[in-house]
Structure 1
């Protein structure tokens, strides 16, 4: 990108500041169609989730690396109930069939 100016730099900074002030994500109608949002998404600064036919609400979130740069805590995903159940079953099976000590 040498010699090429990145468009919307001030607008992108304002967008990132607004999203950070709102806790890391912003929702609204037609956000994904904004030129500034598209430019920031191309740069990998934000993640855009477009609304479906029922909600029509777009969600714009800071990318994980950008969250840290803006001073927000990282998003820690909680394990699902299925993952917890499978872990419990695997632990129980490991305990039953685990390392048998010779007597």
Structure 2
């Protein structure tokens, strides 16, 4: 409804769900599922009303410290500490 009434000229999708490391690890499925649903709803709303651009950055904490740049999407989950694993999957 927001996008239909306000008609923004750009969108920033910066967080679907924020949690601590223990929460995202303990409830990994819920964390990923909620995040993907929110992202899909926002992106769909933007596309339906013609909002461009949609800025969708990833969190820097999901990238392996010593990974080569630029990093490929499939490489995000490689070599991560367990604390960031599910956030990386959600953002990939």
Is TM > 0.5 for Structure 1 vs Structure 2?
Answer: no
> With structure 2 as the length reference, what TM-score do the two structures score?
0.26
TM-score normalised according to structure 1 size: 0.24
Structure holding more strand per residue: 1
Which of the pair is proportionally richer in helix?
2
When Rg is computed on C-alpha atoms for both structures, the one with the higher figure is: 1
